[in-house]
Amino acid sequence: MVRSVASFGSGVAHALRGARVLLGTPRLWPLVIVPFVLTLLAFVGVLAAAFALRDRWLELLPSSGALRAIFGVLAHLALLVVAYFAFLPLASLIAAPFNETIAESVEQLVTGREPPRFSLPRLLRDLGRALVHELRKLVRYLLLALAVLLASLIPAIGPVVGIVGGGYLAARFAAYDALDATLSRWGWTYSRKTAFIRGRRAACLGLGAVVAGLLVVPFVNAVAMPVGAAGGALLAVTLVGEAERN
Q: What is the reported pLDDT for 118?
A: 45
Confidence of residue 21 (pLDDT cuts 50, 70, 90): very high
Confidence of residue 12 (pLDDT cuts 50, 70, 90): very high
Mean pLDDT of 67-91: 68
Find which of 26-40, 82-96, 139-153 is predicted with most confidence, using mean pLDDT: 26-40
**How much of the chain, in percent, has pLDDT values that exceed 70?**
75
Alpha helices in 60-119 (DSSP H): 66-111
| Averaged confidence pLDDT in the chain | 79
Angle separating helix axes 224-239 and 66-111, nearest 10 degrees: 50
**233 CB-near residues (< 8 Å, 6+ apart):** 18, 102, 103, 104, 106, 107, 110, 181, 182
Q: Which residue has the higher pLDDT, 243 or 183?
A: 183
pLDDT surpasses 70 at 182? yes
pLDDT surpasses 90 at 205? yes
Q: Which of 20-24, 44-48, 81-85, 137-141 has the lowest mean pLDDT?
A: 81-85
pLDDT in tens, 112-135: 776 555 455 655 565 566 666 777
Find the helix or strand (DSSP H, E) in which 49 lies: helix 29-58
Q: Which residue has the higher pLDDT, 75 or 26?
A: 26
Q: What is the reported pLDDT for 235?
A: 95
- Sorted by where each begins, the domain ranges of the chain are 2-244
Q: What is the reported pLDDT for 87?
A: 72
Mean pLDDT of 131-159: 73
